[in-house]
Amino acid sequence: MALSEVNRSVRRLFCQIQRCRVASNHTARGLSQAACEPEPRANENEAVKPTFVNRNPRNLELMALAVKDRGWRTTWLVFSRTQHHVTAQVFSCSSTVPVLTCSTTEWALKKELASTRCVAACQAVGDVLAQRCQQAGITRMVYRAIPWTYRSDAVQAFRAAMKDGGITLSEPRRKYIGT
C-alpha cells in the first residue's frame, strides 16, 4: 500500500508541474507576441464620397445663408381641437412620431385652465409649445391651417402665441443666385 500511495503523490506532482509549464507558456506567449494589426492605408483614409448629404438641421440653408433648392419642410406643426381637448404636435419630415407635443390633457396645463377647449386653452398650448420648441432649438416650422378653420379665434390665438414665443411659422424665402 505504501508503494501505491507514493505513485499517486508522484503522479500528482508531475501533473502539477505540467500544468504550471502550460500556464507559463500561455502567459509568456501572450506577453511576447503582439497581435498583428494591419496598418491603415493612406488612400482609404483620404477617400471622399462624390455625393454628400448634410443631415445637420442647422446648416447654411436653414439659416437662410445659402441657396434653397425646393424647400426643406423639415418640421411640420399640426394643431387639432377635439370635443374636449386641444393638441399641438411638431413632426419631422423623416418620422411619423412627433418630436414635440403639447396638449391640454397634460396635468400641469389642465390644472391652470378653466376649460380645456376654449380660446385661452389654445393660447396656453401655443405658449407652452413655443417654449419647448425654443428649448429644443426649433425656430422655424411649416404650419398650414385649413382655410375655414384658420378664421377661428382659437387658431388665431394659437398662432399669435407661437409667434410671440419666437417661432416663425413659415420657411425662409428662396434665394436666387444670378448666373
Report the interhelical angle of 119-136 vs 153-164 (nearest 10°): 30
CA pair distance 98, 90, nearest whole angstrom? 6
- Range 67-80 burial, b when 16+ CB lie within 10 A, else e: ebeeebebbbbebe
The three cell numbers of residue 168 are 416663425
Residue corresponding to grid cell 411659422? 169
Indicate the pLDDT class of residue 62, thresholds 50, 70 and 90. Answer: low
Residue 55 pLDDT > 80, yes or no?
no
The three cell numbers of residue 59 are 446648416
Indicate the pLDDT class of residue 159, thresholds 50, 70 and 90. Answer: very high
Rounded mean pLDDT, 149-169 = 89
CA pair distance 144, 163, nearest whole angstrom? 14
Residue 30 has a pLDDT of 47
Provide the residue ranges of all domains of the chain, joining segments of one domain with +.
1-30, 75-164
Strand partners, 148: none
Highest mean pLDDT among 38-42, 119-123, 147-151 belongs to 119-123
CB 169 within 8 A of CB 161: no
AA identity, residue 126? G
Higher pLDDT, 166 or 44: 166
Q: What is the pLDDT of residues 88-147, one digit of tens each?
A: 999 887 778 888 999 999 999 999 999 999 999 999 999 999 999 999 888 888 887 777
Indicate the pLDDT class of residue 148, thresholds 50, 70 and 90. Answer: low
Q: Which fold has domain 75-164?
A: Nucleotidyltransferase; domain 5 (3.30.420)
